[in-house]
Structure 1
Amino acid sequence: MSGALEKSLAILEYLVDHPDGVSLGQIATELNQLRSGCHRTLQELVRFGYVRQTPRGDYALTTRLPAMGLNFIGKSGVVDIAQPVIDRLARSTEELVRLAIVDGERLTLIAKAQGARSGLLYDPDMGIDLRLSCSAAGHAWLMTLPEDLAIGHVSRQGLGTPRNFGPNAPTSVRALLKMLDEHRKRGFSIIQDVYAPGMSSMAAPIQRQGEAATGVLVIAGPSLRLSTAKMNRFGPALLAAANELAATGAASPLLKSANLGTWGNVGDKPPPPARKTVRAAR
């Protein structure tokens, strides 16, 4: 990747988290870029319509990137295929249901349905990349991978800490692998107070037999309402919905097994099914 392109992408990704705008000095400092070079890159991004300058001189994203993303998701057909399934599962569980897509080493939330009509609601931001070690979706995907590949993904992203996530977030690879073993036995993941305090969630991979998982279906809600017993009761419905999406997903490029659920990161072949290995001490 060229230096100019890398700097431009770093700025765009940084501005995603600052919708109100950020000063030139803060951008250059946070991204470890020279102020003069950062200013030139920002001016180019302004010229091409990806960044705007606010009245007080800060820099913020325009709607061009979000519009491109929404257009891409819409034309992929994934929401048209998945939304009826998500809606049905949300109505039957009366909880939030989410669809996450596998993209290389990331899981990105792209669709949702809210089943709860009253009381506490749980609804994280759409479009976020999930922390693999701390999310039910991350666990559901990792449990389908060979152990060394799962460890590699988590190591590169980093373990989430209980201080930043929930008090039950795994603090070591060994602890995470133990949780994944438990998830595999039941066929779907269940976590409580792992992604956030007071939150429960469960997830099942969208995966055709013998192929790589292309997405994950998630049910989430407040722990006061979504207990472990209730999540176990929801298990068959969750698995049935995930299997339905696996069967119909070939109609969307984002859920095609041939593409490994990715765009721009197509591998030669999907990873082999998860297998248990002899573990060295970690």
Structure 2
Amino acid sequence: MQTNTPHFIINMSNILVERCFDTIELLATEAKSLRLEDIVEHLDLPNSAVCRFLSVLCLIGWLEQDSQTGFYRLTLRLAVLGQRLLSATKTPDICQSIVNRLAQDSQELVRVATVQQDGLAWIAYAQGAKAGLMYEPETTAEVPLQVTAEGKAWLATLTTGAAVKAVLKNGFGDPDTHGPNAVRTIEAILSELEVTREQGWALAVDEAELGVISIASAIRPNGGSPVGTVSVAGPSLRFGGERILEISRLISIAADDLAAFWPLRRRPHYCNSLRMIALGSGQYPR
């Protein structure tokens, strides 16, 4: 079938379609309302053209304009369609598969913690050890920051001031409840955080508990602010130097994968096959 539509009209239509999606992506990434001038500047199109397709996007329900400020923002239509896609493709199961894969590859206990105000709380785990010594941590939801690899991995992403504030707020705890290598001063923890930043992952040896080693990495979607940590822990007798390096590599891969899918598991529904800790209850899943 032939058409007499001029090529420049087709090209302009393609550009406008692309810019419509650029606008949706911009508003989704910023997650806030934007002025017309901001959108025009970002898209590098004439004001009149931007006004036209913004009006169309509002008309078909993708955008809405604040009647008082004139700012544009996304409606929930994109989120609803995303939910439908996730439900149809079973994407939520990916979260479980990442954690279970790491547990299987490491043959140790894998835990995921999420950032909660000035600290971390464990929310999910998978046990990879099948026989022999199995690390079973105490029943607690909050992560002791200064004596765990999870805490160090998260603190290392913060500024020095923010890290110190978080440690002081959480406290150093009772020395008798931790391992012999537990850090007990701000100077010591800052030194540990510097090492963590340099190597890209955190290590805790006989700190939270005697005879236990843990390795962790921060989960940072798009390389931005940390949203949580993923870790592997087990009896120290199974963690030689080469195995520590291998597990740190596996953890880094898992952290990147979780970061890519983290927005999908904001609600427990998205990891419904993992046994979840009820935050604040102090109960660890069994």
TM-score (norm 2): 0.59
Choose which of 170, 188, 193 in structure 1 pairs with 2:201.
188
Give the aligned partner of residue 247 of structure 2: 234
Change (3 A) 1:172 1:142: same
Could you say which residue in structure 1 is the equivalent of 2:123? 110
Q: Amino acid of the residue matched to residue 143 of structure 2?
A: L
Deviation at 1:164, TM superposition (A): 1.5
3-state SS, counterpart of residue 131 of structure 1: coil
Residue from 177, 183, 186 that aligns with 1:164: 177
Corresponding residue of 2:218? 205
Map of 2:56 onto structure 1: none
Higher alpha-carbon deviation: 80-89 or 103-112: 80-89
Q: For structure 2, which runs of at least 5 residues remain unmatched after alignment?
A: 1-89, 269-286
Q: Cα gap change, 1:79/1:109 in structure 2, threshold over 3 Å: closer, same or farther?
A: farther
Q: Which moves more between the two structures, 208-217 or 150-159?
A: 208-217
Secondary structure of the corresponding residue to residue 224 of structure 1: helix
Residues 145, 79 of structure 1: CA spacing in aligned structure 2 closer, same or farther, 3 A cutoff?
Answer: farther
**Residue 154 of structure 1: aligned partner:** 167
Residue identity over aligned pairs, in percent, reads: 35
Q: Which residue of 2 aligns with 1:276?
A: none
Aligned residues: 179
Q: Which amino acid aligns with 1:128?
A: A
Question: Following TM superposition, by how much is the alpha carbon of 1:128 offset from its aligned partner in structure 2, in angstroms?
Answer: 1.1
**Cα deviation per residue 1:95-131 (whole Å; 9 max; x = unaligned)?**
1101111111121111111111111111225661011
Contact (CA 8 Å) 2:113, 2:150: kept in 1 or not? yes
| Distance in 1 between residues matched to 2:260 and 2:94, nearest whole Å | 11
Match of 1:129 in 2: 142
CA contact (8 A) 1:78 1:254 kept: no
Q: Deviations over 1:228-263 (max 9, x none)?
A: 4311121221101100000111123269xxxxxxxx
Q: Which residue of 2 aligns with 1:49?
A: none
Q: Residue in 1 aligned with 2:259?
A: 246
Return the letter of the residue paired with 1:178.
S
- The 8 Å contact of residues 134 and 160 in structure 1, kept in 2 or not, is answered as no
* 1:102–1:108 contact (8 Å) kept in structure 2: yes
State whether structure 2 residue 188 is matched by structure 1 residue 175.
yes
Letter paired with 2:153: A
Q: SS at 1:243's partner residue?
A: helix
Q: Deviations over 1:186-242 (max 9, x none)?
A: 100011100100000000000024521001001000011123431112122110110
**Which one-letter code corresponds to 2:235 in the other structure?**
P
Structure 1 residues 101 and 95 mapped into 2: Cα distance closer, same or farther (>3 Å)?
same
Greater helix share, 1 or 2? 2
CA distance, structure 1, for counterparts of residue 253 and residue 113 of structure 2:
17
Q: Residue 154 of structure 2: which of 141, 144, 151 is its match?
A: 141
Contact (CA 8 Å) 1:162, 1:168: kept in 2 or not? no
Structure of greater Rg: 2
Task: Provide the rounded CA distance (Å) in 2 between the counterparts of 1:105 and 1:78.
Answer: 30
Off by >3 Å, runs of 4+ in structure 1: 77-81
Counterparts of residues 83-102 of structure 1 (less than 5 Å): 83-102=96-115
Distance 1:178 1:93 in 2: 28
Distance in 1 between residues matched to 2:143 and 2:214, nearest whole Å: 13
TM-score, structure 1 normalization:
0.60
Three-state SS of the structure 2 residue aligned to 1:163 is helix
